[in-house]
């Protein structure tokens, strides 16, 4: 018979600190993209969509209330949804650890100088690809994109690749976290944190 844990294995703590501990463990255990997260957005009339993106910065010192930052083409589908409805949900799922974290909150755009710094930290091919791509727009054939990539490569040869103004970053400022830990027999462990003035409140949830 499997062991039944009578006490929660998810501590009552600062959720940013707890996220950092779990994220550090994931970076040691996950074989690929431990910073991958599902990003859910919605249109102005609340039609949802979700896709995987990469976390590129996080911490309690980001913005005015801490945050989780990713980058994208603001002309993409998700970019349009963010502009129309600046709310999002994130999900980290680390299968090797049998853990997941949900995060919910409003979105704000990063400052241009922050977007510039991250854009120029990427590989040159990635920078040129961002210039060449009309992300999420219809494309008749792949060769069109590759031709645009070649044109961008020639245009910026020998110099710095200019960041497109619509290529930018967004930060989710959490108003809620939920930490989930797998347990045998589906007797899972869940703890939800919600922001209150001056800190966080938390409670256990039934699995």
Query: Is residue 98 flagged as an active site residue?
Result: no
**What pTM, to 2 d.p., does this model score?**
0.91
Residue-range domains of the chain with CATH: 15-72+83-111+172-205 (2.30.110.10)
Q: Which of 77, 102, 186, 195 is catalytic?
A: 186
pLDDT of residue 52: 97
Q: pLDDT digit string (tens) for 11-58?
A: 999 999 999 999 999 999 998 999 999 999 999 999 999 999 999 999
Torsion-angle region of 186 (φ positive above 0: left; ψ -120 to 50: alpha; else: beta): left
Q: Is 180 exposed, middle or buried (0-12, 13-18, 19+ CB in 10 A)?
A: buried
Q: pLDDT digit string (tens) for 68-85?
A: 999 999 999 999 999 999
Task: Work out the percent of the chain whose per-residue pLDDT is above 90.
Answer: 87
Res 153 pLDDT > 80:
yes
- pLDDT bin (cut points 50, 70, 90) of residue 1 is very low
Q: HSE (CB half, 13 Å, CA atoms) of 106? A: 7
Say if strands 99-109 and 57-59 run parallel, antiparallel, or are unpaired: unpaired
């Amino acid at each position: 018979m499997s062991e039944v844990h009578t006490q929660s294995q998810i501590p009552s703590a600062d959720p940013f600190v707890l996220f950092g501990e779990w994220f550090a463990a994931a970076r040691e255990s996950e074989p690929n993209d431990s910073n991958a997260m599902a990003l859910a957005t919605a249109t102005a009339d609340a039609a949802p969509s979700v896709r995987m993106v990469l976390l590129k910065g996080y911490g309690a010192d980001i913005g005015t209330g801490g945050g989780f930052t990713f980058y994208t083409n603001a002309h993409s589908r998700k970019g349009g949804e963010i502009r129309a409805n600046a709310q999002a949900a994130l999900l980290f799922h680390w299968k090797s650890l049998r853990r997941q974290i949900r995060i919910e909150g409003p979105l704000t755009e990063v400052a241009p100088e922050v977007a510039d710094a991250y854009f120029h930290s990427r590989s040159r091919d990635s920078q040129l690809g961002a210039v060449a791509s009309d992300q999420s727009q219809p494309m008749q054939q792949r060769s069109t994109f590759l031709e645009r990539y070649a044109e961008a490569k020639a245009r910026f040869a020998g110099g710095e690749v200019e960041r497109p103004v619509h290529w930018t970053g967004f930060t989710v400022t959490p108003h809620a976290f939920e930490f989930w830990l797998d347990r045998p027999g589906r007797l899972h462990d869940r703890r939800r944190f919600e922001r209150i003035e001056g800190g966080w409140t938390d409670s256990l949830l039934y699995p």
